[in-house]
Amino acid sequence: MGGGGNNEKRKAKLSELRAFQGSRVAREVREIVDEFIEKSAGVLSSEDFDDRVIEALCSLPRDTCKQVLDEILVSNIAGAKNRQRWMMGCIKRYLEKTAKGEDFLTLEEEKAGIIAKQKQERANAASAASAAKRSGPPPAGKNGKPQSSKFARGRIGEAS
């Protein structure tokens, strides 16, 4: 009972519906891309988005597509020799991070994290360096030899 069967008529109908849905998704993504091209103020053009890039963007949820396009917009794409390949790299990076269960960070968020990590490393290095200075030899006395404590010499009650 149920299940719809596996006949040719059903297969043709499913294929037709998938094609319709695919064209609708492609149209939505193309509208999003056109919106970002306008927002880029001449940095991006429609030639930058070939069929492969559009197809890859279609495989993403719409909000994610916008997030990836935002990332492309704020990054330095002007220096890219092959813009399509560069954009595919951004999309691939997103897909790899989500496949691993990691959060996708925008370029600004990633930079902020790297900067915070560098500041923490510098602070750790500075505290280690100051600790090393404190554990060095005692300061030199009047005669140039290191001063030693009465406690260290074992003459606590004696006068020097």
Per-residue pLDDT tens over the stretch 58-88: 888 888 888 888 888 877 777 788 888 888 8
Would you state the structure tokens that stand for residue 22, as one six-digit string?
A: 């695919």
Domain presence at residue 35: yes
Residue 159 pLDDT level (bands cut at 50, 70, 90): low
Mean pLDDT, rounded, of the chain = 75
Domain presence at residue 138: no
Domain presence at residue 108: yes
Domain presence at residue 144: no
| pTM for this prediction | 0.52
In 3D, which of 108, 84, 88 has the Cα closest to residue 96? Answer: 88
Tell me how many domains the chain contains: 1
Domain presence at residue 68: yes
* Residue numbers of the domain that contains 29: 9-128
Q: Is the pLDDT of residue 2 over 60?
A: no
Domain presence at residue 154: no
Domain presence at residue 158: no
Domain presence at residue 77: yes
Can you tell me the distance from the alpha carbon of 151 to that of 68, in angstroms, rounded to the nearest whole number?
A: 67
Backbone φ and ψ for 50, nearest 5 degrees, come out as -80, 180
